[in-house]
Every structure is written in C-alpha cells, then in structure tokens.
C-alpha cells in the first residue's frame, strides 16, 4: 500500500534518488487557506544538511502544487504536489548494487519484488517522508482551525534526556562512525471524546499504523504503555468527575486519552521508538540519528490520522 487514510487520504510516490517525490492528498475539506510558508517551515524541520547529526544531502525541498488549490485555498479536489530531488547522487551507492546492507530493506525488497532500487534504498529511504510532511502540514493547519494541536518532542536519544548530553552523544557517534536511536513523544490536544471504533479501527490502532509506517520505527506505546504492566489497578485507573452539566473531567491520564479504543477528551500522548540508523562506515550520506528530523514526521503522521478520524466521525464535515 502506498496510501494511508480513508477519507483524508494520502498516496505518495517517488524514490530516494529518482527525479522527485510527491503525493496526492484527497479528502481535504474545501475553503482552507493554506499557509504555504508554514508548509515550507515544516519541510525545513525535516531537511537534510541542517545539523551535524543529519545526512549532508543538500535539498531545497521546494514543493510544487499541481492541483487542488486556487489562490492558495483548497478546492476540495485532490491536492497533487511534488518535490524534486536536486542533490541525488546514486553513484555513491554503486558499490552496493549487488550487496545487501545489514538491517536495511535491501534483501526483503529483493525477496518481494525480484529486483530492487539500490540507489539509497529507493522507496525504503527516509526521503519518502517528504510528501508525508507536506500533507501533514496541511492537515495540521486544518486541525488548528478546529482547535486541535498536534506536537512532538525528542524524549531521549540513546537514553540521554538533557539537550547538551544528547548533542554530545550525537557528536561522539559522528566521530566514531556510529549511530544511535531514541524516542519521540507525541501530544494531541483538543480532541473531542468519541473518536475511534470499538474493535479493529481503535484510535490507537490507527495511530500506531501511521507511526509504524515511518522508516526506522521499532516501537509504539500510548498513555503509560508498558509501564502499566508494573502498576496495580488502583494506580493505573483514571478516576473522573462529572459536573452538573454532564461534562467529564479526568483526575489522571494513565490511559493517554483513549479508553476502549475511543478518545475520552483528555490529551492523547504516545511514544515512538526509533532504532539506530543501520548505515555505518559507508561513503554515502546518512544520519547519525533519525530523531532530530523525525519529530516533524511523527507530528505529520499523527495529524493525518486525526484529520481522517474527524472526517470519519462526521461531526466536522466531510
């Protein structure tokens, strides 16, 4: 599948070292004035070459909108866009044409399709997250208009939580030709209660599917997650107060804003675990750690999921 979402649906295309990457975003409500500078700023947060820990590939990442907008306002029709690959250097990967890199998708793509794009991993490359960020920036703008905020932060890198120690660890890994993983924490504020389905399309299941679609992701948890396995029910339960007007206020939020697969109106929070970048000691350009650039990708995937859930619910239009 190259698409995600049911109503608010993104289909992506392109390879790491092909002419361009891009997407078609369908289902975006009409009449949304797109802040194009906001889209550019989101792409800049994902950009390579911006930090010492990032790949030094230099891409302008200028998005070209091909349809779906008139004077910067959505028409309700499919929004097609592309971002050209201007600094592709497939020759860097020529020595790997017939080599399977450990912990990459080289072998598994070959096993599935009978051939593979050896130029930087093709569709398995993090370059394919560019259209996710473009569509996610649009989704976030629509959500903000509904009073919903999606944010993410680096929770830790290699176990380090202090910014200076994280930076020092990244520099050390760069110097040693090594890499490191970590965790991104996501937050969704302002969600109404009632989003999600009770069985196979639980809100957290849809969110997890989106997060596991990001390259290098190895784990997902929401609320207190695995920590709840060491808690007692009396510690893990979220008591509530019901006001005279029928509104509900939760006194704690171990559930992460989701109960029975359905949002309860409290803040949704979740963690996404990223493995260390598997490329080591190769002449090609690669990240030391995915996390600094992955924050906006997590936000984008979450925003796409929430936008789709809102439209499926029906209270926010179609």
What pLDDT, in 10s, does the model give residues 18-41? 899 999 999 999 999 999 999 999
Take residue 111 and report the two structure tokens written for it.
């096993």
pLDDT in tens, 56-83: 556 678 999 999 999 999 999 999 999 9
Take residue 20 and report the two structure tokens written for it.
């361009």
DSSP 275: P
Three-state secondary structure call for residue 46:
helix
What are the backbone angles phi and psi of residue 248, rounded to the nearest 5°?
Answer: -115, 135
DSSP 33: B
pLDDT in tens, 273-318: 999 988 875 555 678 999 999 999 999 999 999 999 999 998 776 5
- Strands, E assignment, 232-279: 240-242, 248-250, 258-259, 262-263, 268-274
pLDDT in tens, 147-191: 999 999 999 999 999 999 999 999 999 889 899 999 999 999 999
Q: Are 250 and 264 in contact (CB under 8 A)?
A: yes
Mean pLDDT of 207-228: 97
> What percentage of the chain exceeds 70 in pLDDT?
94
Highest mean pLDDT among 37-51, 106-120, 144-158: 144-158
Determine the pLDDT at residue 21: 95
Burial class (CB in 10 A: 0-12, 13-18, 19+), 76: middle
| The CATH number, out of the four listed (3.60.150.10, 3.40.50.920, 3.40.50.1820, 3.40.1670.10), of the domain defined by the range 3-313 | 3.60.150.10
Q: How confident is the model at residue 97 (pLDDT cuts 50, 70, 90)?
A: confident
From the CB of residue 239, how many other CB atoms can be counted at a distance below 10 Å? 8
pLDDT in tens, 240-267: 999 999 889 999 999 999 999 999 999 9
For residue 297, the number of C-alpha atoms closer than 13 Å in the C-beta half-sphere is: 26
Determine the pLDDT at residue 281: 59
What are the domain boundaries of the chain? 3-313
Mean pLDDT of 106-126: 88
Determine the pLDDT at residue 121: 83
Determine the pLDDT at residue 316: 72
Residue 130 to residue 136: CA distance in whole angstroms: 10
The closest of 255, 260, 264, 127 to 191, measured between CA atoms, is 264
Lowest mean pLDDT among 85-94, 96-105, 163-172, 259-268: 85-94
The closest of 128, 185, 129 to 157, measured between CA atoms, is 185
Q: Pick 106 or 272 by higher pLDDT.
A: 272
DSSP 126: G
Supply the mean pLDDT for the chain.
Answer: 91
The closest of 30, 10, 33, 31 to 22, measured between CA atoms, is 10
């Amino acid at each position: 599948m190259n698409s995600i979402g049911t109503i608010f649906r993104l289909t992506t295309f392109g390879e790491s070292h092909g002419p361009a990457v891009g997407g078609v975003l369908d289902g975006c409500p009409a009449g949304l004035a797109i802040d194009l500078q906001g889209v550019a700023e989101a792409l800049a947060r994902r950009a390579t070459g911006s930090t010492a820990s990032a790949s030094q590939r230099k891409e302008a990442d200028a998005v070209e909108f091909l349809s779906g907008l008139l004077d910067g306002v959505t028409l309700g029709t499919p929004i097609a866009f592309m971002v050209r690959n201007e600094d592709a250097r497939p020759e860097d990967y020529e020595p790997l044409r017939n080599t399977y890199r450990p912990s990459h998708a080289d072998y598994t793509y070959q096993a599935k399709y009978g051939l593979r794009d050896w130029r930087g991993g093709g569709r398995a490359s993090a370059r394919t997250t560019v259209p996710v960020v473009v569509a996610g920036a649009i989704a976030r703008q629509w959500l903000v208009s509904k009073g919903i905020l999606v944010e993410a932060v680096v929770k830790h890198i290699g176990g380090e939580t202090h910014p200076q120690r994280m930076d020092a660890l990244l520099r050390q890994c760069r110097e040693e030709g090594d890499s490191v993983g970590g965790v991104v924490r996501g937050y969704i504020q302002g969600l109404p209660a009632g989003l999600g389905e009770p069985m196979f399309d639980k809100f957290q299941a849809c969110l997890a599917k989106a997060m596991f679609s990001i390259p290098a992701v190895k784990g997902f948890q929401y609320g207190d997650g695995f920590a709840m396995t060491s808690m007692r029910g009396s510690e893990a339960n979220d008591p509530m107060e019901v006001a005279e007007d029928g509104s509900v206020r939760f006194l704690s939020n171990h559930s992460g804003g989701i109960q029975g697969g359905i949002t309860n109106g409290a803040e949704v929070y979740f963690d996404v675990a990223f493995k260390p970048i598997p490329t080591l000691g190769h002449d090609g350009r690669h990240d030391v750690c995915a996390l600094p650039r992955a924050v906006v990708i997590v936000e984008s995937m979450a925003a796409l999921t929430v936008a789709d859930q809102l439209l499926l619910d029906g209270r926010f239009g179609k």
